[in-house]
Amino acid sequence: MTIKSEEVEKIAFLARLRVAEDNRGKLTEDLSQILDFVDQMKAVDTRNVTPLSNPLEMHQILRPDTVTEENQRDRLQAVAPATELGLFLVPKVIE
Amino acid sequence: MAWEVVIGLEVHVQLATRSKIFSGASTAFGASPNTQACAVDLAMPGMLPVFNEEALRMAVKFGLAIGAEISERSVFDRKNYFYPDLPKGYQISQLDHPTVKAGSIDIHLADGTGKTIGVTRAHLEEDAGKSLHEDFHGMTGIDLNRAGTPLLEIVSEPDLRSAKEAVAYLKKLHSIVTYLGISDGDMSQGSMRCDCNVSLRPKGQAEFGTRTEIKNVNSFKFVEKAINTEIERQTDILEDDGKITQETRLYDADKDETRSMRSKEFANDYRYFPDPDLLPVVIDQAYIEAVKSTLPELPEAKLKRFKEQYGLSDYDAEILSSSRQQADYFEAAASAAGDAKLAANWVMGDLAKNLNQQNLEISESPVPAEHLGLLISRIKDKTISGKIAKDVFTAMWNGEGSPDNIIESKGLKQVTDSGAIEAIVDQVLADNPKQVEQYRAADEAKRGKMVGFFVGQTMKASKGKANPQQVNQILKQKLS
Amino acid sequence: MSFKSISELLNGLTQKEFSSVELTRDYLKRIQQYNAELNCFITIAEDQAVEAAETADKRRETGAAGLLEGIPVAHKDLFCTEGTLTSCASNMLSNFIPPYESTVTRRFLEAGAVCLGKTNMDEFAMGSSNENSHFGPVRNPWDSTRVPGGSSGGSAAAVAAGLCAAATGTDTGGSIRQPAAFCGITGLKPTYGRISRLGMIAFASSLDQAGPMARSAEDCALLLQVMAGHDPMDSTSAQQAVDQYSHNLGSELKGLTIGLPKEYYNEGLDPTIGQALQEAIKTYESLGATIKEVSLPHTSLSVPAYYVIAPAEASANLARFDGVRYGKRCDSPADLDDLYMRTRAEGFGAEVQRRILIGTYVLSAGYFDAYYRQAQKIRRLIKNDFVEAFGQVDLLLCPTTPDCAFPLGSKSADPVQMYLEDIFTIPTSLAGLPALALPCGQANGLPIGLQLIGNYFQEARLLNAGHQYQQRTDWHLQHPTLG
């Protein structure tokens, strides 16, 4: 296995995905298989190659500093699971 | 053992743009929750960021002001973590290619010494929203109005050696960003927030000790207290042969202590990578030159000029140049007064005292700089005495108008007509025959003190308006 | 009427042979008839469609007709449509009604097109078979035991089955071209940045590109005209001027050099497909093109590199689905992490979760350089291969897929096997180049797809080459007999 079950648990927490106990083995296997497959990249010598993030290598456009958005709270919050007094509600956050 | 304190600051400055760094929503402070959070700020599906040109210009201004190299190519990265005030699940920031590279800031300390503090970098990023912990049936409320407000994070080198130096650095930073007009610098509204990295090492040791980071300290006073408290805590541990844990701590101002924030640190791995929704920001020398040409005179240059041009002391020059408003006020007053030193004394004296008492900024002063200058000029040309000037100032403060109007309408003009003064003196001498007799009987040594009585009576009779020098002179003649 | 090209339909509307309302009702009737079997649509917008058709007829009456006035189309269910469910075929967004319109669908509205509904797809565009949908798999109209390809499988099947005149798709690693090939239609993946991504729910931002799916290159040209152009709200959208695609369809191919990338003609290719391609090559030769072999040496590395870059971007793009501001939220979360972890585990399907985990892994501390950065470097090598090739030739000609539509369930147990489906489409996606998939034959009653790859922003040349081929052949005119 390229990736261990504990590592799967760690990245699943980073990605905030609950992995069911009975699925962890199969998932670890699948992920290992995928990583084994992508590992063939590692054989290539890329020491002098510059990474490519965007295929066109264009530059960022700039937006003028003007306020173009009006208050749309009611429209935007119409699809929210839980709101009160204009706030989005989540389980208590402990600092 | 003797310990050396090592401090580095990470200061988040909210940039004073009208709209957000990647959206067209307003950045105004204090709006009702989520009324300034548009679809981009809420990370609605399919929404995309577009970079605000003013945020870039402001970052470049700051870089030029601290003599830093400006990146001709900067890159936005995603910093990934889950938190309810971070709608996308990542913060857009700059990791490897910040807009502003290394620069430096000069600080001046109360003991007259100075120091240059290295700035490692300053990068652009977006602010998060706010969690409101008032109880909503056991839930937390999320307001995303602040999400997407542009921040410039300014990272210092670990060059600071005391809480005092840290505060001096922070104050200088504050004056630079407000001079540049790139931030309102209002710490009470979170426009400037400070993380302090503190560590100790045995004096003479080159290697740094283990540091702790005190998060989100939001006033000059608390920065000083939080750092000193943390220094004490670390000293105690090290003196007991203990070890410092590298961790994030929170300063509790009520208890004046720092405490560990264990929760967030667990398994944090931010997985930075270039944001594919944004492209590299590319600027050229012409752009940088154009921004440079708009820079105002900066605090350090102004301080030097105040010393040279007005002959002010280091201390006075530092205080008067600490904010652009204060410096502008001082210069306007000095020019109207025709005397910079007197103007400096008034600005740092009576004016500062009154402003402090009423908790006003100099820009809110009810006394315009020109009026204060005029008042000073009336002392210089002997229209009024320094003592009367204080009364005129109070009247000006209370909104009674220009100094000349007040002097005129209250009849405060100094009496310099010798005939008029002589008449008052004559009256005073006639009213106090006993004292005149005693004076005349006394020897020269005692007379010097006794004349004060007559001067006082004469001034009182003239309601303070008689020219004191003339009163003295006439009294001496009449009594001899 | 249902299998007419857009230009024929526009002609019919102009000549008043039929109205947009009649045309729309005809498609809606077919959707009613066949969608239960094919499962092409997640949402059928019957009332809005008829209403839009009425408006279109009126506008045509007043002489204010747009480019697509009254033409019934369908949109992939990842384009946000104001007031209409946009689910991305995910349980996560199975209740999401956007309060805004994507740039692509807005441009269709402005051009007068009628939206019949939203098409099924692989969840969050992740898949090559359309089996990864919360709303069930789409079936191939040519053989309903087979997949239509993915991720734009609903759009491809709907066009092929004559349930709409044309449809929109998106292509990240082949999601327009592969289903177009499997369903025997014509699909264009334009140059990265040619069409705005605003309002298009992101899978992998540096790869995602919308495009038209239709019956012919000629129809694609018209659709691209409507879709293409700079959008100041999308930083990655290109500022390049938009060509007149339809006007450029008459150019002769004489003097054109077409390259055959030898790595695409290997033993992995199905022999029947190889045969069909040889026929297509002959047709191009007869049209006056010169054929030349070229090499794209890093081709085999494209799938591994893609399965690092795309999941990495996706892992961050999909972090916003957290049950706080929109979409599904799990029942009675115990605390914040429980809210996140259960909402996301319940909201995302298995393939989406796999890719999020892979993406998280390759970006995590200690693995970033070996995986993510290495993949970006390989992306550069792959782009350089194409730059080199386009120094010698004008277009590349190759297969779209290594095989024809496969049976449902035959590859879903093996993720890597499924990933290799996109071996011929992924390299162009990584390079950001435009590519056109069009039918060039059949094997056992299943369509075979030809792929033409152009240089950056050469959609006009690509569409013309496709159109010239379709003037000579009739593969694009074949359509399945529905049961």
CA C290 to chain centre: 29
pLDDT band at C382 (very low <50, low <70, confident <90, very high): very high
Q: Is C340 on the interface with B (CB under 8 A)?
A: yes
Q: Closest partner residue to C356 among A17, A39, A51, by Cβ?
A: A17
Q: Is C234 near chain B, with CB under 8 Å? A: yes
Residues of chain A contacting B24 with CB distance shorter than 8 Å = 63, 66-69
pLDDT at B267: 58
Tell me the count of A-B CB pairs closer than 8 A: 126
E strand segments, C207-351? 209-214, 257-261, 290-294
Radius of gyration over alpha carbons of chain A, in Å? Answer: 22
Nearest to A49 among C232, C340, C381 (CB): C381
Given a contact as 3+ CB pairs under 8 Å, which chains touch A?
Answer: B, C
Contacts of C235 in chain A (CB under 8 A): 60-61
Report d(CA C394, CA C445) in Å as an integer.
Answer: 32
Closest by alpha carbon to B174, among B256, B65, B258?
A: B65
Q: Tell me, what's the pLDDT at B263?
A: 52
- Pick from B50, B82, B273: CB nearest C340: B82
Give the integer Cα–Cα distance in Å for C340 and C338.
Answer: 5
Euclidean distance between the first and final Cα of chain C, in Å?
18
Cβ(B187)–Cβ(B219) below 8 Å:
yes
The predicted structure's pLDDT at residue A95:
59
Under 8 Å CB-to-CB from B355, ≥6 apart: which residues? B361, B362, B364, B365
What Cα–Cα distance (Å) separates residue B328 from each residue in B321, B331, B338? 9, 5, 15
Residue A14: give its domain's CATH number: 1.10.20
Establish if A79 belongs to a structural domain: no
Token pair, residue B77, equals 């990265």
Contacts of C338 in chain B (CB under 8 A): none
What tens digit of pLDDT does each residue of B112-159 get? Answer: 888 999 999 999 999 999 999 877 788 999 999 999 999 999 999 999
* Distance in angstroms (rounded) separating the CA atoms of residues B388 and C236: 70
Of C215, C145, C71, C149, residue with least CA distance to C444: C145
Residue C1 contacts residue C26 (beta carbons within 8 Å):
yes
Q: Which residues of B touch C328 (CB under 8 A)?
A: none
Cβ C123 vs Cβ C89: under 8 Å: yes
- Alpha carbons C62 and B3: distance in angstroms, whole number: 87
Judged by CB atoms closer than 8 Å, whether chains meet at B53 and A64 is answered as yes
Distance CA(A53)–CA(A50), nearest Å, equals 10
Beta strand pairing call for B212-217 and B248-252: parallel
Q: Given an 8 Å threshold on Cβ–Cβ distance, is C96 in contact with A17?
A: no
Contact B82 C320 (CB under 8 A): no
Check CB contact under 8 Å for C416 and A34: yes
| B44 and A76 Cβ atoms separated by less than 8 Å | yes
**pLDDT tens, position by position, C62-102:** 988 999 999 999 999 999 999 999 999 999 999 999 999 99
> Do the Cβ atoms of C93 and C346 come closer than 8 Å?
no
Confidence class for position C41, pLDDT limits 50, 70, 90 = very high
C133 is catalytic: no
Is there a catalytic annotation at residue C20? Answer: no
As a whole number, the mean pLDDT across chain C is 97
How far is CA B99 from each of CA B64, B116, B151, B282, C118, rounded to the nearest angstrom? 11, 22, 12, 10, 43
In this complex, the residue of C197, C233, C340 whose CB is nearest that of residue B50 is C233
Q: Chain B contacts of C236, Cβ < 8 Å?
A: 48, 276-279
Question: C23 near C53, Cβ under 8 Å?
Answer: yes
Rg of chain C taking only CA atoms, in angstroms = 21
User: DSSP of B141-161, one letter per residue?
Assistant: EEE-SSTT-EEEEEEE-S-B-
Answer yes or no: do C235 and B42 touch at CB < 8 A.
no
Structure tokens at C56: 């279109």
Q: Which residues of B touch C315 (CB under 8 A)?
A: 80, 271
Number of domains in chain A: 1
Picking from C68, C59, C72, the residue whose alpha carbon sits closest to that of residue C31 is C72
Q: What is the value of ipTM here, to two decimals? A: 0.97
CB contact (8 A) between residue C326 and residue A51: no
- Taking only the tens place, the pLDDT of each residue in C134-158 is 999 999 999 999 999 999 999 999 9
Write the residue in B39, B273, B278 that is nearest to C363 by C-beta.
B273
The answer to whether residue A21 is domain-embedded is: yes
The confidence score (pLDDT) of residue B364 equals: 92
Domain locations in chain C as residue ranges: 1-483
Q: Which residue of B has its CA nearest to C78?
A: B46
Residue A12 covered by a domain: yes
Whether A31 is in a domain gets the answer yes
CB distance B91 to B128 below 8 Å: yes
For residue A75, the distance in angstroms to the closest alpha carbon of chain C comes to 6
Residue B114 backbone zone (phi > 0: left; psi -120 to 50: alpha; other: beta): beta
Contact B64, B283 (CB under 8 A): no
Classify domain C1-483 at the CATH topology level. Amidase signature (AS) enzymes (3.90.1300)
Query: Is residue B269 less than 8 Å (CB to CB) from chain C?
Result: yes
Does residue C375 carry a pLDDT above 60?
yes
| Mean pLDDT to the nearest integer, C367-376 | 97
Q: Residue type for B425, please?
A: V
| Whole-angstrom distance, CA of residue C96 vs CA of residue C111 | 26
Q: Distance from B92 to chain C by nearest Cα, in Å?
A: 11
Torsion angle of the four alpha carbons C367, C373, C374, C378, in this order, in degrees rounded to the nearest 10:
150
Q: Is residue A52 included in any domain, yes or no?
A: no
Q: Which chains touch C (3 or more CB pairs under 8 A)?
A: A, B
Rounded to whole angstroms, how far apart are CA atoms C458 and C435? 9
- How many angstroms away from the CA of A66 is the closest CA of chain B? 6
> Could you tell me if residue A18 is inside a domain?
yes
Measure CB to CB from residue C307 to each of A38, A82, A91 and give the nearest one: A38
pLDDT of the residue at B265: 47
CA separation for the pair C57, C21 (Å, rounded): 7
Residue ranges of domains in chain B, CATH in brackets: 3-290 (no CATH), 299-409 (no CATH), 418-479 (1.10.10.410)
Closest residue by Cα to residue C396 from C349, C316, C341, C454: C454
Q: In what order do the strands lie in the sheet with B90-93?
A: B90-93, B77-80, B273-274
Is the peptide bond preceding residue C286 cis, with omega within 30 degrees of 0?
no
Percent of all residues in chain C with a pLDDT value above 70, rounded to a whole number:
100
- Rounded distance, CA C9 to CA C162, Å? 13
Q: Using a CB-CB distance cutoff of 8 angstroms, which residues of chain B are in contact with residue A91?
A: 138-140
> Residue B132: CB partners within 8 Å, gap ≥ 6?
A87, B33, B140, B141, B142, B143
Residue A58 lies in a domain: no
Q: Is the dihedral of CA B455, B460, B466, B468 positive or negative?
A: positive
Cβ–Cβ of B19/A68 closer than 8 Å? yes
Q: Which of residues 61-80 of B touch A (CB under 8 A)?
A: 80
d(CA B199, CA C207): 45
Q: Give the DSSP letter string of B41-106.
A: TTT-TT----EEHHHHHHHHHHHHHTTPPBPSEE--EEEE---TT-TTSEEEE-SSS-SB--EEEE
Name the residue among C323, C358, C433 with its Cβ closest to that of A81: C323
- The answer to whether the CB of C201 falls within 8 A of the CB of C159 is no
- Comparing alpha-carbon positions, the chain A residue that sits nearest to B271 is A14
- Taking CB atoms and an 8 Å cutoff, what residues of chain B touch A9? none
Choose, from C76, C118, C189, C328, the residue flagged as catalytic: C76
**Structure tokens belonging to residue B300:** 């350090």
Weakly modelled stretches of chain A, pLDDT under 70: 95
Assess contact for B247 and B58: CB atoms under 8 A: no
Catalytic residue among C87, C90, C175, C237: C175
- Say what the pLDDT of residue B98 is: 98
Residues of A in contact with C236 (CB under 8 A): 54, 56, 58
Q: How confident is the model at residue B388, as a pLDDT? A: 85
3-state class (DSSP) for residue A91:
strand
Under an 8 A CB cutoff, do C325 and B44 touch?
yes
- For B39, other C-beta atoms within 10 Å of its C-beta total 21
Among B21, B75, B140, most A C-beta atoms within 10 A, so best to mutate, is: B140
**E strand map for C208-320:** 209-214, 257-261, 290-294
Respond yes or no: is residue C76 known to be catalytic: yes
Low-confidence spans in chain B with pLDDT less than 50 = 264-265
Reading the block at residue B32, the tokens are 């009702």
Q: Do B140 and A91 touch (CB under 8 A)?
A: yes
